[in-house]
Every structure is written in C-alpha cells, then in structure tokens.
C-alpha cells in the first residue's frame, strides 16, 4: 500500500506491512481511532509516511512499532492531529503540522521527535527528546496550545532549538495566562521567539508569565536571538523583564515592570 489516499481506520487493526513491498509505507493521510501495525511477523519493521494528499486529519488510535521501532514521517501541507497514545519509534516532521491532543502516554511515539520543516504543537504529551530546526534554512516551529486557545505542551524529555527554529508563544494579559512548554532540559543553540499578547490587561508590577518550564536541574542553555536574558520587552500595555533564571531558577519568564 503506497499512494496518496486517505486511510480511515475505525476500530479494528490495520496491518499496513502486509501491503508493503518496501520497508517504507506512504499514504495520503491517516484518520480514525483504530490500530495501525508497523511491524510484521518476524518483526520486520516499517516506517510510515503520511501527508501526501495535503489533507488535515485526526487520528485517535494507536500506531504500533514493536519495542519502539518504526518512524512516522509527516509531509505535505496538512495538519495531522494525534489524539491517542502511540507506540512506534520516532517522529519526523518535514512539512505541515503535527498537533498533539493526548492526555496519557505519548502522541508522537517512544523515540525522538525532529522538526525539520513545519510545526509541532498542541496540548498533549511527548515522550522523546524534541529537536526544532534540525534542517538548516528550513522554517521549523514549536507552538504550544491550539489555534484559538492558550495551552501547555508537555515534553517528558529535553527540547533543543537550532537553525531557524521559532518558538511561537502567546500570553493573555486580560486572563493572566500563557502558552507554555514543559520540558526536562532546554537548549537554545539558535532561533527566535514569536511572542504576542492576546489581551489588553494592565497588570500590576511583579505579575509573571512562564513561557518555558524547565523541570531539569540544569539551567536553560542559550537565549533566543530576539529575546535576551534580562532584556525588556513591551507587549500591549505592559513592559516585562525577561529572565532565563525565573520560576524555580531555570525557567523562561516575563515579569511586569513598574510603570
């Protein structure tokens, strides 16, 4: 099975490996809530390429890869929303977007997640280490939350920003809320932050927003190129102090300054 059709899996088990002449399977898009197998009898492992038809779909089932084998590749312009807990290996984003919406397990499988081009985001949970901007010269974005609401994206391992990476983050001064990524270690080799205020609140001095919650004991390594440590930034009606040592000592925070 290779092509640009949509695979709609409603319950049941779909063994894609039975249709695969090669170790790589390509389908146009994936949707539904069933199970997808990326390994066959004898444990021949397969990779899955999704996105050739540029459609946006939601898959709430389980992608299986025995012992964390098999990589999911997202290509094309569409958005793949992963709402379940998946058991394949790593995930590579080469186009479009992968949004996570799971509440348990890991939406992107058990292995590392690499964003070469496109977006990774949502409000779900990701087990593997995340690298944003791994392909030089290609726009790659990490964007917690949803398109219309703020939210938290939880990474159980580290996140690394490199190349032309963008951290797309919003706050709402009227609700005193923000997008946030929780990660066990943060490395910023290069990249920029896109930061907006969706509210118009005038806040008292000392009000703090946490943009990166670093659960590791180590400090954040590096700064975003357009948001340096201890610099000031003005959003809507408020001026903020930037700190990469905020929160419990190693978080990226914005704190409202006195007028």
Does residue 233 fall inside a structural domain? Answer: no
pTM as predicted:
0.93
Task: Give the Cα separation of 211 and 214 in Å (integer).
Answer: 10
Portion of the chain with pLDDT greater than 90, in percent? 78
Would 64 be classed as within a structural domain?
Answer: yes
pLDDT attached to residue 18: 61
Here the tokens at position 210 are 């946490």
List alpha helices for the chain, DSSP H.
none
Please report whether residue 50 resides in a domain.
Answer: yes
Q: Flag whether pLDDT at 3 surpasses 80.
A: no
Q: Are strands 238-246 and 232-235 parallel, antiparallel or unpaired?
A: antiparallel
169-192 tens-digit pLDDT: 999 999 999 999 999 999 999 999
* Structural domains counted in the chain: 1
Residue 12 has pLDDT above 70, yes or no: no
Tokens of 234: 């003005």
Structure tokens at 47: 């990779």
Model confidence at 16, pLDDT cuts 50, 70, 90, reads low
Region 114-135: mean pLDDT is 97
Chain mean pLDDT for the chain: 92
H/E run at residue 81: strand 79-82
Residue with more model confidence, 19 or 101: 101
Residue 238 lies in a domain: no
What confidence score (pLDDT) does residue 249 get? 98
Average pLDDT over residues 55-62: 96
How many other CB atoms are found less than 10 A from the CB of residue 102?
A: 21
Domain-embedded: residue 191: yes
42 token code pair = 């004898």
Tokens of 251: 């978080």
Which residue bears the tokens 């102090």? 241
Chain centroid to CA 174? 26
> Within its chain, how far is the Cα of 35 from the centroid?
22
Residue 114 domain-assigned? yes
80 in any annotated domain: yes
* pLDDT for res 86: 97
The answer to whether residue 18 is domain-embedded is yes
Domain containing 143 equals 6-228
């Amino acid at each position: 099975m290779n092509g640009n059709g949509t695979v709609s899996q409603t319950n049941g088990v779909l063994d894609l490996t039975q249709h695969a002449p090669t170790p790589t399977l390509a389908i146009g898009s994936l949707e539904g809530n069933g199970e997808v197998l990326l390994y066959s009898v004898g444990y021949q492992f397969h990779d899955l390429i999704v996105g050739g038809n540029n459609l946006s779909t939601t898959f709430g089932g389980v992608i299986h890869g025995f012992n964390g084998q098999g990589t999911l590749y997202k290509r094309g312009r569409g958005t793949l929303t992963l709402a379940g807990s998946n058991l394949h290996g790593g995930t590579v984003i080469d186009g479009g977007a992968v949004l996570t919406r799971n509440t348990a397990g890991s939406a992107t499988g058990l292995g590392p997640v690499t964003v070469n081009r496109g977006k990774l985001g949502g409000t779900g949970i990701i087990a593997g280490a995340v690298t944003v901007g791994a392909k030089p010269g290609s726009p790659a974005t990490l964007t917690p939350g949803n398109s219309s609401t703020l939210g938290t994206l939880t990474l159980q391992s580290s996140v690394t920003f490199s190349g032309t990476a963008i951290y797309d983050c919003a706050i709402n001064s009227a609700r005193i809320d923000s997008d946030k990524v929780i990660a066990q270690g943060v490395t910023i080799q290069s990249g920029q932050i896109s930061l907006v205020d969706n509210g118009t609140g005038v806040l008292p001095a000392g009000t703090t927003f946490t943009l990166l919650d670093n659960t590791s004991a180590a400090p954040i390594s590096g700064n975003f190129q357009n948001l340096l440590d201890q610099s000031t930034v003005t959003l809507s009606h408020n001026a903020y102090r930037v700190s990469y040592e905020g929160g419990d000592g190693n978080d990226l925070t914005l704190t409202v300054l006195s007028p």
